[in-house]
Chain A
């Protein structure tokens, strides 16, 4: 049985759904962040798999850029979490509900 690109795509989709669910279920801002990383990685996997299937290097380069942007996002996001924590002594996203209507 040959492992085709579709298998990898299915795995990526599953990881994506798990990541999305984690983002919506976890209350800890850090864990929400990790779930986002999970989603980004699942997309990376599709890029690489599709790149191989299409015989193009561009898929891998897209992964490269996603990685850089993810790194920047993590840096700023974690800084925000630290900053919020200094003021609130909590990393729970549910506590940050001041904008309730």
Chain B
């Protein structure tokens, strides 16, 4: 019962946040809405005993990534209401149509009842995503992807510096 209440409330919050990303005129409100969604999802993760993922969601996503977003919003000065009128012809109608089609398909699938979301569990072992459990799995079975992602992060950091760098070197080149 508790789960149902939590699901309804947090689900509504998540959808509200998501909608505000789409429709907020001011990007800062959009970012706040996205953060609401992220927090709601973090609670869902906890309910699924995904402790480490929930913590990382809060720290990395809601913390670091969203801070970065807000920082860039402030840096390039778009923290004000923007013109949301559509200039591309038929863009919104097309998007709405596509969305409706997907929802329709999903509805047909659910009502038709011939759509198994997931097969029933074969084991009854409760998955408990503690730091210990997740760490053990990461550093044994998943060690290669794990190291690959670390490499990816380094490359991304270096790439970001190279892209956004605006020092005297580049200015000289542009003057020339």
A contacts, CB < 8 Å to B:
1-11, 13-15, 17-22, 24-28, 30-31, 33-35, 37-38, 41, 44-45, 48-58, 60-61, 63-65, 67-76, 78-83, 85-86, 91, 94
A36 to chain B, nearest CB (A): 10
B residues near A28, Cβ cutoff 8 Å: 27, 78, 82
Q: B1-22 CB contact bits vs A (8 Å, 1 = yes)?
A: 0011001000100110011011
Nearest residue, chain B, Cβ from A85: B76
A39 to chain B, nearest CB (A): 10
Q: A30-B27, A78-B160 are contacts. A3–B149 as well, Cβ < 8 Å?
A: no
Cα(A45)–Cα(B49), bound, Å: 13
B contacts, CB < 8 Å to A:
3-4, 7, 11, 14-15, 18-19, 21-22, 27, 30-31, 34, 37-38, 41, 44-45, 48-50, 52-53, 56-57, 60-61, 64-65, 68-69, 72-73, 75-76, 78, 82, 84, 86-88, 91-92, 94-96, 98-99, 102-103, 106, 110, 117-127, 129, 133-134, 137-138, 142, 145, 149, 152-153, 155-157, 159-161, 163-164, 166
Contact yes or no, B41 A35, CB < 8 A: no
Instruction: Determine chain B's interface SS by DSSP, over half rule.
Output: helix
Cα(A21)–Cα(B142), bound, Å: 34
Q: A6-B117, A35-B22, A67-B57 are contacts. A60–B129 as well, Cβ < 8 Å?
A: yes
Cα(A3)–Cα(B117), bound, Å: 13
Q: Can you list 25 A-B contacts with CB-CB less than 8 angstroms, sorted by A residue number?
A: A1-B4, A2-B3, A11-B11, A11-B15, A17-B102, A21-B99, A25-B86, A25-B91, A27-B84, A33-B69, A35-B22, A48-B45, A52-B48, A54-B118, A58-B137, A60-B127, A60-B129, A63-B45, A67-B60, A72-B155, A74-B68, A74-B69, A78-B160, A82-B164, A83-B166
- B69, B86, B118, B123 interface centre (most CB from chain A within 10 Å): B118
